[in-house]
Amino acid sequence: MRLFLSLLFLPLSLFGQSAAERRTPLERSLEQRGLVDVSVAVPGVFVSLMYARPDNFVGRVLYTDLHRAYLLPETARALHRAQTALQRKYPDYALKVYDAARPMRIQQRMWNAVAGTSKNIYVSNPAHGGGLHNYGLAVDLTLCWARDVRDGSGRLLHAAGDTTGLSMGTPIDYLGAAAHVRDEARLLRRGILRPEHVRLRRILREAMSAGGFRVLATEWWHFNFKTRAQARAHYTPIP
C-alpha cells in the first residue's frame, strides 16, 4: 500500500518521459561541467550520434549512455553562426551532427581499435592528450535537408533531417583517402569523387568557416573550433 501511494504522488511528467528525454548520468555530468545540449543551443540543427549506433568505423555501439550531442558553450555559439550562415545562403540545407563532445574513456576504445594498424593516423591517441572532441571543441557533421521536400503532386522526396541525395562521396567516419580534403582535385580527376560531392563539401566548409571552424584535412566531416595547443592550455579534457 505504501509503495502504491508513493507511485501515486510521483510527478506525472516522469511517466511521459522517454529514455531519450531523461538525462543519463554521463549527460548530467557533461552539463555539470558546463557543456550544453546542441539540440537546445542551436535551433534547426539535427543530431544523430553515430557512436550511439553500430554503423561507425568501430562497428559497435560506444555511446551506451550518451544520446545527446554536447559542446562547450563557445563551440555551440560558433555552430549556431555556421547554421545561420548556411541557412541564409542555402535555405534548403541544415547541419546534421554525428559527434560532438567525447569522453576520453571512449577515445581510448577507439584508439584500441586502430592501434598498430594503418588507420591509426585517423584517431587521436589518448596517451598524447587525445583530440579536440575530448574537450567539446570539435564536431563531426554533414548537410541534410532542412525541411520536408515534396514533388508537385505532394509526394515526399526527402524528409527533414534526411541526407539522401546529399552524398559527400564517402560515408561519414570513412577512414581513407577519399575523405581527404586536400586530395579532392585528384580524386575528381580519377573519378573517385563527382563534382556534386565536392560542391556539397565546399558548401559545408563555407558554412563552418563562417562560424569560425577549421576542417580537418583527412576528414571532410570533422571541424575544430580551437587548436590542440589552445585546448591543452585553457581547457580540461572530459574523462
Which domains, ranges and CATH numbers included, belong to the chain?
21-234 (3.30.1380.10)
Please say if the pLDDT value at position 178 is more than 80: yes
Question: What is the predicted pLDDT for the residue at 176?
Answer: 95
Please say if the pLDDT value at position 4 is more than 50: no
Buried b (16+ CB within 10 A) or exposed e, 136-172: bbbbbbbbbbbeeeeeeeeeeebeebbbeebebbbbb
Q: What share of the chain has pLDDT > 90, as a percent?
A: 89
Residues 193-217 have a mean pLDDT of 99
Question: CA angle, corner 50, sides to 84 and 18, nearest 5?
Answer: 85
Instruction: Enter the pTM of the model.
Output: 0.89
Please say if the pLDDT value at position 151 is more than 50: yes
Count other C-beta atoms under 10 Å from residue 51's C-beta. 23
pLDDT class for 12, splitting at 50, 70, 90? very low
Mean pLDDT (the chain) is 93
Q: How far is CA 188 from CA 160, 182, 191, 201, in A?
A: 29, 12, 5, 13
pLDDT class for 147, splitting at 50, 70, 90? very high
Please say if the pLDDT value at position 214 is more than 50: yes
Bridge partner residues of 149 (DSSP):
158
Residues 53-81 have a mean pLDDT of 97
Question: What is the predicted pLDDT for the residue at 68?
Answer: 98
Residues 70-93 have a mean pLDDT of 99
